[in-house]
Chain A
Amino acid sequence: NAGVMQNPRHLVRRRGQEARLRCSPMKGHSHVYWYRQLPEEGLKFMVYLQKENIIDESGMPKERFSAEFPKEGPSILRIQQVVRGDSAAYFCASSPGQDSYEQYFGPGTRLTVT
């Protein structure tokens, strides 16, 4: 049973470019969360999605960041016009749904903005 998959594992972008991070949840999981981990800091919640719906985006910066989880395909976190402060590890987690509060994390995408 494959775990949560994220790609790419490492991504380098120049300032002003766009970054696209992908997450495929565990089989049978329909709930996806994105978290960001800055150096020397804990994991910070960004957004919670179900298929075709954004449930909670209270942790998402208001500008340049967007997320989607289409009916088919992986969840995507998109960062437009990246700045150096966006350099971080971005983790995706998935949850099975009803009556379950465990979240299972992927290996992360490490974004470096040069």
Chain B
Amino acid sequence: QKEVEQDPGPLSVPEGAIVSLNCTYSNSAFQYFMWYRQYSRKGPELLMYTYSSGNKEDGRFTAQVDKSSKYISLFIRDSQPSDSATYLCALNKGSTLGRLYFGRGTQLTVWP
């Protein structure tokens, strides 16, 4: 079993929809949780990061962490065609300078 599981999709939604992206993990040692966005043939771009269970909001994006269920989510409100990209969850085992463990990424297409 992989340490971080993420459904690769693809996920296709109309413009304006609410998008829900999810990852699960198996190791309770993970303490820091990040979401990256990666456009085709580009480097990953850090979107959001959080440490604690609960919600963190930034504009149209909300990151949610449930440590008891080992489940993390990224919600995108009012989705736009420019949100079309691959979204990667990344987890860290509690060291501020440690390696990241990535999910496979979910490919999202938002059509006008």
Contact = CB atoms under 8 A, between A and B. Distances in A.
Given A42-B102, A42-B104, A59-B99, A102 B43 contact: no
A1 interface: no
B75 interface: no
A102 B99 contact: no
A91 B88 contact: no
Contact of B96 (A58, A59, A91, A98): A98
Interface size class of B (residues with CB under 8 A): 20 to 34
A43 interface: yes
Contacts of A45: 99-101
Contacts of A105: 36, 43-46
A103 B43 contact: no
Contacts of B88: 42-43
Nearest to A103: B100
A6 to B, nearest CB: 8
B96 A101 contact: yes
A43 B102 contact: yes
Nearest to A91: B43
Contact of B99 (A40, A42, A56): A56
Given A4-B43, A59-B99, A105-B44, 15 more contacts: A33-B100, A42-B6, A42-B104, A43-B102, A45-B99, A45-B101, A48-B97, A48-B98, A55-B97, A97-B97, A98-B96, A101-B95, A102-B46, A103-B90, A108-B43
5 nearest A-B pairs in the assembled complex, by CB-CB distance: A105-B43, A42-B102, A45-B99, A42-B104, A43-B102
Interface of A: 4, 6, 31, 33, 35, 40-45, 48, 55-56, 58-59, 91, 93, 95, 97-108, 110
Interface of B: 4, 6, 8, 32, 34, 36, 41-46, 49, 88, 90, 92, 95-105
8 contacts: A35-B102, A42-B88, A42-B103, A43-B90, A48-B99, A103-B46, A105-B36, A107-B43
